[in-house]
Structure 1
């Protein structure tokens, strides 16, 4: 049965998420709703995710984005290593990161798309999907040439849907000051034009339609993006009728979470996470933890993939992985890298944020939260104790902001993004 109560034949839905926790969790949340409605849900997942999706009730079709490593890797290990090795670039202004970090990321993404194209075609031939859903930032031609509806999900910041009257993506520039926009766009064109042109040629050679100018992915027959209306750019950057906003996309989880008997001390309870990738910068994790240890509050810390190298003081408790959506309702404040998942989930539960952006769209999220007054943006490598501690005091003491965010969270949760997405995907597949 469909969500509207009418009969609906079982569909085969193929999800193709980026090999990172944010997009994969987003697809798992939507896929879980579809599976419970009786549909067959298959994941075309990068090989390091083997065995992680099947326990959730999904079929796994694994693929490689590069020649397989000699030893098995943890889920998403490639990008964790990439971030760890390139972390010094995060200290640069965003316009300088275009050539030294953003372009290398695009190069890796493009290389992966080229490498796995034959594998994807074989998977599609085996699975025979009724609809294909991609949550990634780069085009995989096989997904758009399969002869079935193609759904694109944008689970990065909505500036990735560009517009003349909104800041350029990856810049972290303010919406109210256009002085740097043209220069940033010109530098993006200079650093990316050749890469994009070569990729566009290859995409068309695979039988797909040409890419839009300087875009590395097509729009879909249906396009979904994850961002609350209260923080969106809807007036400045209107979108066409194929685009639909999901105010949040929070995966339903049965993982139980019981707050630990510690951490020691009093004060507020604060969640600290730099995400599965940002936490690979162990020096930054240690520096931030040392500063937070000098406050009167308690912390739950997502330690990330290099958790064994991170020691926590008595006022903190943490593990490598934590059920974030179980923890957020319990805390008073979130300290985050500004990844789209954590940012939208914090808003989903009505929590103020301190944002320490590192790369990609994290600068855009941090800037947006700061200019809307929902949080404080700090430089992760240059903040002082006075700045971090002052931001904590201000946000914890702002009762007006807490009321605003509580009401915003109630609205976001009522819009039920995962079920909305499932409805739209069903409609795309059958319409």
Structure 2
């Protein structure tokens, strides 16, 4: 019997890409043939895990335009990360949606041709925007919600990207009104893309609909919102995270404080460019009785004087490192949040954009970590936050119980089986 080809198409971010790797690993164990459609800049990421890759051609090969360089994009908007989520709407969120819609438009023709050639049994889309070619491919498509759960709106859930507290309906209203008005022009461009493909338009501010077949949510039970409109459990499946398998990692020997608790620091591939912030943090780390592993991306050579209790590298096999850590300091990306919870590790979340604000708020509300303003902290405040989380035994017990639940749930296998089941079922 031939294996069913499942095409996974994550957005151009390592969080979505590596989350999909976990699902693909489980699909392979279930006897399917998972393959990856990817943006050109992610060529090689999935092959490293043994999966076939089908990179979309960069934009300049299609129509003479410029591809979206997300590193350059973030660098241009770095100052906006000092703003509140409300003030980031015009400064960062709208330009990001413009770039996302541009990318979707540029990908449309080559994606349509690729899907016709691959003839997958299903497409798994881990993205924030609809690609018309996927909806028109004539096969089931599965949506992965790997940002915050707020990506699926509900009257009882704070607005997506707002970072609002769960008990602040006035803040929700202020954010939603400003957000809807600001994204309306780019949303109109997106609807033109849908209409050109013969698809109905979406209401503002929707850029992606729920799949009629299957929707997979990474949100663990500890962080879930109580919804006014419960989701159909047959069509909306919570995974309790979705952690990929990585090889083992042996921490280096530290010249100083080698017996101290291990703290892992990573702000993602884009957040690593914030070298000034990381330098300030390293100065504080040098005063603490801990070992620190700090992911610094392509900027390793920027750091000249590194204290003996700090080890820098471009990249770490994150699940393997988090498993051994006592604290994880990160930007609030959903993968980082889920991996911390999966291994029972408290989070110190220092968000700078997008769903990081929502996740930071929810981590603090759920009592599984703390949120700290990314820039507005003093050395004393950062020290107190780190030492306080390391000493919080009540939180440790809460995290341990949640980790046991997540690990027993095996979210990646749940996702794989749900996808294969959805292929055989009619759309709802």
Query: Is 1:246 matched with 2:239?
Result: yes
Is 2:298 aligned against 1:302?
no
Q: Is the 8 A contact 1:285 1:310 kept in 2?
A: no
Displacement after TM superposition at 1:282 (Å): 1.5
Partner of 1:256: 248
- Decide whether the 8 Å contact of 2:155 with 2:227 is kept in 1: no
Q: Is the 8 A contact 1:335 1:353 kept in 2?
A: yes
Q: Gapped runs of 5+ residues in structure 1? A: 1-7, 70-75
The worse-fitting range, judged by mean Cα deviation, of 193-202 and 344-353 is 193-202
SS at match of 1:259: coil
Q: 1:242 to 1:204 in 2, by over 3 A?
A: farther
Whole-angstrom distance in 2 between the partners of 1:269 and 1:111: 42
Deviation, structure 1 residue 263: 5.5
The match for 2:219 among 224, 227, 241 is 227
Report the counterpart of residue 39 of structure 2 in structure 1: 46
Deviation, structure 1 residue 43: 1.0
Contact kept, 8 Å, 1:263 with 1:317, in 2: the verdict is no
After superposition, what is the alpha-carbon deviation per residue over 1:54-73, rounded to whole angstroms, capped at 9, x for unaligned?
Answer: 2322111111353259xxxx
SS for the counterpart of 2:168 is coil
1:138 to 2:119 alignment = no
| SS of residue matched to 1:223 | strand
Aligned to 2:104: 113
Cα–Cα, structure 1 residues 82 and 405, in superposed 2: closer, same or farther, change >3 Å? same
Residue pair 2:349, 2:360 contacting (<8 A) in 1 also: yes
Q: Say whether residues 1:82 and 2:73 are aligned partners.
A: yes
Question: In the TM superposition, what is the alpha-carbon distance from 1:257 to its structure 2 partner?
Answer: 0.9
Q: Equivalents in 2 of 1:86, 1:294: separation in Å?
A: 32
Correspondences of 1:148-159 after superposition (within 5 Å): 148-159=139-150
1:95 to 64, 86, 100: 86
1:144-183 aligned within 5 A: 144-183=135-174
1:286-329 deviation line (CA, Å, top 9, x unaligned): 12222222222111111122222134321111210100100111
Change (3 A) 1:107 1:65: farther
Which shows bigger deviation, 281-290 or 360-369?
Answer: 281-290
Q: Identify the residue that residue 384 of structure 2 maps to in structure 1.
A: 390
Distance 1:60 1:374 in 2: 37
Q: Aligned equivalents of 1:400 and 1:386: distance in 2?
A: 23
Distance 2:236 2:58 in 1: 29
Counting matched residue pairs gives 417
Q: CA deviation at 1:77?
A: 8.7
Q: Render the CA deviation track for 1:181-200: whole Å, top value 9, x for unaligned.
A: 10100000110112112211
Q: Distance in 1 between matches of 2:235 and 2:203?
A: 16
**Contact 1:272–1:335 (Cα < 8 Å) also in 2:** yes
CA RMSD of aligned residues (A): 1.8
Secondary structure, counterpart of 1:67 in structure 2: helix
Describe how 1:323-342 pairs up with structure 2 within 5 A.
Answer: 323-342=317-336
Deviation at 1:259, TM superposition (A): 1.4
SS in 2 for 1:305: helix
Which residue is equivalent to 2:271? 278
SS of structure 1 residue aligned to 2:88: helix
The answer (yes or no) to whether the contact 2:30–2:417 under 8 Å persists in 1 is: no
Name structure 2 gaps, 5 residues minimum: none
Aligned to 2:410: 416
What does the per-residue CA deviation read over 1:120-172, in whole Å, with 9 as the maximum and x for residues that have no partner? 01110110011011001011100111010010101100001111111111111
Q: Deviations over 1:12-44 (max 9, x none)?
A: 101111011110111111111212333222211
Give how far 1:218 is off.
Answer: 2.0
The residue that corresponds to 1:56 in the other structure is 49
**Are 2:397 and 1:403 aligned?**
yes
Q: Is the 8 A contact 1:145 1:207 kept in 2?
A: no
Quote the offset at 1:236 in angstroms: 4.6
- Following superposition, the deviation at residue 363 of structure 1 comes to 0.7
Question: Offset at 1:335?
Answer: 0.9
Q: Given that residues 263 and 316 in structure 1 are in contact (C-alpha distance below 8 angstroms), is that contact kept between their aligned partners in structure 2?
A: no
Equivalent in the alignment of 1:5? none
**Cα pair distance change 1:201/1:182, threshold 3 Å:** same
TM-score normalized with structure 2 length: 0.94
